[in-house]
Structure 1
Amino acid sequence: MVGTERMTAAELRGRHDQPKGQKYGAQRETVDGITFDSRKEARRYQQLRLLLRAGDIADLRRQVAIELEGRDGPVLTRTGRRMKITVDFAYTDLRTGLTVYEDAKGLPTRDYEVRRAVAAAQGVEVIEV
C-alpha cells in the first residue's frame, strides 16, 4: 500500500473532536464574558460600551432580529418561515433619538445583501462597520 496512511481509532476521533474554523476565516473573541463571531465585532462592542458609558447612546442590544416585510406582507423563506435579518448591534443614538442598526461585516454575502435591501425598503437602514 503505497501512499496510504494508517491511524488508530483514537487518532481518528481526535481529528473529529477538533473545533472547526469559521466559514469565512473570522476568529472568535471573548470580551466581558461574551463570545463574538469575529474580532471586528468584539472591537465594535468595546467601542459601543464606551459610548454607552459616556452617555452618547442608550439601550445597546446584541444580535437583534428584524423581520422582513414586503408590499404584500411578510417575506417568507422557501420553507414558509418568516425571513429576517439579524444585526450585530442596535442602540439609540441620544443626539438624534433614532435607533441605529449595525452589522460588523468582513465579507457581505449575496443573501445578506438581499436581506439588507429588503430591510432598507421597509425603512430600516443597516450600517456596516
Structure 2
Amino acid sequence: MGESFILNVVKEPLQSLMEGKNTISNLLNALFMNGTEGASKLVTALIGYHWFEGGAPDYKNLQITDCQIDTLTLRGFMHITYLLERTFGCADIQTTQTENQKWHFTIDTASAVIIFEGPNDPNRQDEI
C-alpha cells in the first residue's frame, strides 16, 4: 500500500486553476516549497515509503519535474525527483542516490483539500 496525505488549500488558488488563471505546476510548487506543511507531509510520506530499506533516510533537492491535471475530473499526477541519503550509524556508512516517484492526486474543491497518493511499495504488500 502506498503512502498518502491530505493538504488543505486556500480556495482562491483552486478557483484560479479552474478558471485557467493559474497552472497546476504553480499551485503544486507553492504547496511543496521548503518549510511548508506540504513539504513536511511529503517528506514524512517518503520516510514511510523508504523505511523498510534500512538506514536513516534524509531527503534533499525535492523537485516536481512534471505534473498534469484533468480539469473535468480534478485528478492528476506529479513526478517528483529527490536525492535520498541514508546513514547507517552502526557501520558508519552513508549512501546517496537519486530517486523518482509518481504521485496521484485528487482535488476536492468543496472541502478545499488535495488528496495525494504515492506509489505502492512492493515491500509492504502484506499490509493490504
The TM-score with structure 1 as length reference comes to 0.27
Higher strand share: 2
Higher RCO structure (Cα 8 Å, ≥6 apart): 2
- TM (norm. structure 2) is 0.27
